[in-house]
């Protein structure tokens, strides 16, 4: 789809976007940054240090925030975190302290700050600098009665449940604040020279500075997937997914071996688990290969940060092709379905391609995306990572390939999503909220 040209703004701004986490936590905000830069703004992406090459390839300014997320997630501690174990609070606090300090440096000179949920300390930095700020997210976090906190696959119309749902957001916010209150208040008083926030958090301030009192929210997901709740205010913008189009440039870079594999007999499936890591990726590789044998299918494995597929028996090379990474917008329209972890970015790419999913969630919001896709009838029920086997994978593959209704629904939803321009919509909302366009 051709990206539409947004209305030119009256003023060019210096914008810093704060984002930390995995590749899926960074890429959508790079897409937003590209859109803002095209509109004439000077955009700096402040992200974990390992993302510098990734960010700079899009001709965006980059400033490092402490921590190499790839190195961390590939470590034993990172793998335990993905497996559901809790880190020691001291470890978390030290990482957070370093990130806040480096983010403060990154925001010097910014005229607008856009921060993501994992970088929500952007609120305090914006307050100190006295500049406008936006929160940007690819999952819904604004309080609503429609569904509970991080349970957007469970909408309700029951009045009592709506009250419980709405309350869940404030409970989650309070629990987070109490966990990190001392650390964040220390950052405010010692680094930012701001007064500490009250015991119950920012909502209970006697007087909130105007620039952080009613923060607008940009949501990078489609209302065709998560309908906009009616109880959200006008400053909450659901814009559509944020994509980076790379298919055209990759067309000339794709290795001949990949072209050959895609042209062999029948379209394959795709397997990719993004930034998810595991102690023994060879087990998952084995399950994938055996499930493909059982279903008489071929598969492309995107090895990602978890190094899935690194040990494939040479005799299976006609059935399985392993490659570190391929742009989703180039590859996914050429495969039958994708088996993935249910990260927000990968989920969006699969939906846009108009193909069914098989979701193998590991952690965080991934199980909810798995439930949401099943609810939309574009995926069978998710298979939690700990329940993956050659049999569960094979059964899901057969279910997807044998379900014409699921395939049709995926195609129809893909057409709707391709008809949206989430980045252009987000840029337009950004300009309109700041009064930069008429």
Q: Are residues 82 and 154 in the same domain?
A: yes
Find the CATH number of the domain harbouring 56.
3.40.50.2000
Token pair recorded at residue 415 = 């057409």
Query: Residue 164 belongs to what domain range?
Result: 14-241+420-433
Q: Are residues 332 and 217 in the same domain?
A: no
pLDDT digits (tens, 9 = 90+) for 220-247: 999 999 999 999 999 999 999 999 999 9
Query: Do 184 and 197 form a contact (C-beta atoms < 8 A)?
Result: yes
Strand 42-48's sheet: what is its strand order? 61-65, 42-48, 14-18, 112-115, 133-137, 217-219, 236-238
> What per-residue confidence (pLDDT) applies to 2?
41
Q: Are residues 218 and 167 in the same domain?
A: yes
Q: Under 8 Å CB-to-CB from 382, ≥6 apart: which residues?
A: 342, 359, 360, 361, 367, 370, 371, 373, 374
Share of the chain above pLDDT 70, in %: 95
Collapsed DSSP state (helix, strand, coil) of residue 216 = coil
- DSSP output for 325-378: ---HHHHGGGSS-EEE---HHHHHHHHHHT--EEE---STTHHHHHHHHHHTTS
Tell me, yes or no, whether 2 lies in a domain. Answer: no
Tell me, yes or no, whether 7 lies in a domain. Answer: no
Q: Are residues 271 and 198 in the same domain?
A: no
Token pair recorded at residue 204 = 């209970």
Sign of CA dihedral 309, 312, 316, 321: positive
Kindly give the confidence (pLDDT) of every residue in the chain, 438 residues in length, as a single tens digit, with 9 standing for 90 and above.
Answer: 444 555 666 689 999 999 998 888 899 999 999 999 999 999 999 999 999 999 999 999 999 998 887 787 878 877 777 777 776 656 778 889 999 999 999 999 999 999 999 999 999 999 999 999 999 999 999 999 999 999 999 899 999 999 999 999 999 999 999 999 999 999 999 999 999 999 998 888 888 888 888 999 999 999 999 999 999 999 999 999 999 999 999 998 999 999 989 987 789 999 999 888 888 889 999 999 999 999 999 999 999 888 898 766 767 777 899 999 999 999 999 999 999 999 999 999 999 999 999 999 998 899 999 999 999 999 999 999 999 999 999 999 999 999 999 999 999 999 999 999 999 999 999 999 998 865
> What per-residue confidence (pLDDT) applies to 72?
78
Cα 311 from Cα 178, distance rounded (Å): 45
Q: Give all strands (DSSP E) within 9-130, no chain letters.
A: 14-18, 42-48, 61-65, 112-115
Q: Are residues 379 and 266 in the same domain?
A: yes
Collapsed DSSP state (helix, strand, coil) of residue 415 = helix
Task: Give the largest Cα separation in the chain, rounded.
Answer: 69
Q: Are residues 32 and 155 in the same domain?
A: yes
Q: Are residues 225 and 320 in the same domain?
A: no
> What per-residue confidence (pLDDT) applies to 7?
61
pTM of the predicted protein model: 0.93
> What per-residue confidence (pLDDT) applies to 176?
92
Q: Which residues of 71-89 are buried (b: 16+ CB within 10 A; e: fewer)?
A: ebbbeeebbebbeeeeeee
Q: Are residues 207 and 269 in the same domain?
A: no
Q: Are residues 219 and 313 in the same domain?
A: no
Tell me, yes or no, whether 4 lies in a domain. Answer: no
- What CA–CA distances, in Å, run from 143 to 139, 196, 213? 12, 24, 16
Sign of CA dihedral 51, 136, 416, 59: negative
**Domain count for the chain:** 2
Tell me, yes or no, whether 1 lies in a domain. Answer: no
Tell me, yes or no, whether 9 lies in a domain. Answer: no
Q: Are residues 288 and 233 in the same domain?
A: no
Tell me, yes or no, whether 397 lies in a domain. Answer: yes
Q: Are residues 53 and 186 in the same domain?
A: yes
Token pair recorded at residue 21 = 């986490």
Tell me, yes or no, whether 227 lies in a domain. Answer: yes
> What per-residue confidence (pLDDT) applies to 311?
67
CB-side exposure of 234: number of CA atoms within 13 Å?
A: 2
Tell me, yes or no, whether 195 lies in a domain. Answer: yes
Cα 199 from Cα 23, distance rounded (Å): 34
Q: Are residues 234 and 319 in the same domain?
A: no
């Amino acid at each position: 789809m051709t990206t539409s040209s947004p209305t030119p703004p009256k003023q060019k701004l210096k914008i810093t976007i704060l984002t930390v986490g995995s590749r899926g936590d960074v890429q959508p905000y790079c897409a937003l940054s590209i859109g803002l830069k095209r509109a004439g703004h000077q955009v700096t992406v402040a992200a974990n240090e390992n993302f510098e090459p990734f960010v700079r390839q899009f001709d965006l300014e980059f400033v490092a925030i402490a921590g190499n997320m790839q190195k961390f997630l590939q470590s034993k501690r990172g793998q335990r975190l993905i497996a559901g174990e809790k880190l020691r609070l001291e470890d978390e606090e030290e990482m957070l302290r370093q990130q806040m300090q480096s983010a403060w440096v990154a925001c010097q000179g910014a005229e607008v700050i856009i921060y993501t949920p994992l970088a929500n300390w952007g609120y305090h930095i914006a307050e100190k600098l006295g500049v406008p700020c936006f929160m940007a997210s690819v999952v819904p976090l604004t309080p609503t009665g429609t569904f509970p906190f991080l349970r957007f696959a469970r909408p309700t119309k029951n009045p009592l449940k709506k009250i419980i749902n709405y309350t869940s957001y404030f409970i989650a916010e309070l629990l987070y604040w109490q966990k990190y209150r001392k650390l964040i208040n220390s950052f405010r008083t010692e680094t930012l020279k701001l007064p500490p926030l009250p015991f119950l958090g920012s909502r209970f301030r006697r007087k909130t500075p105007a620039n952080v009192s009613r923060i607008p929210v940009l949501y990078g997901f489609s209302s065709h997937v998560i309908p906009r709740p009616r109880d959200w205010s006008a400053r909450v913008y659901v814009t559509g997914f944020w994509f980076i189009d790379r298919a055209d440039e990759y067309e000339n870079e794709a290795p001949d071996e990949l072209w050959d594999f895609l042209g062999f007999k029948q379209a394959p499936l795709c397997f990719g688990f993004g930034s998810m890591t595991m102690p023994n990726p060879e087990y998952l590789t084995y399950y994938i290969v055996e499930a493909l044998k059982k279903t008489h299918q071929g598969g492309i494995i995107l090895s990602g940060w978890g190094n899935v597929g690194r040990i494939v028996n040479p005799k299976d090379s006609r059935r399985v092709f392993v490659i570190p990474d391929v742009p989703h917008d180039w590859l996914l329209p050429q495969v039958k379905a994708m088996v993935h972890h249910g990260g927000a970015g990968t989920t969006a790419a699969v939906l846009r391609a108009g193909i069914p999913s098989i979701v193998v969630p590991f952690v965080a919001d991934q199980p909810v995306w798995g439930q949401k896709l099943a609810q939309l009838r574009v995926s069978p029920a998710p298979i939690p990572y700990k329940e993956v086997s050659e049999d569960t994978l094979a059964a899901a593959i057969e279910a997807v390939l044998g379900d014409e209704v699921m395939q049709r629904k995926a195609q129809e939803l893909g057409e709707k999503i391709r008809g949206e321009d989430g980045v252009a919509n987000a840029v337009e909302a950004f300009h309109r909220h700041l009064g930069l366009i008429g």
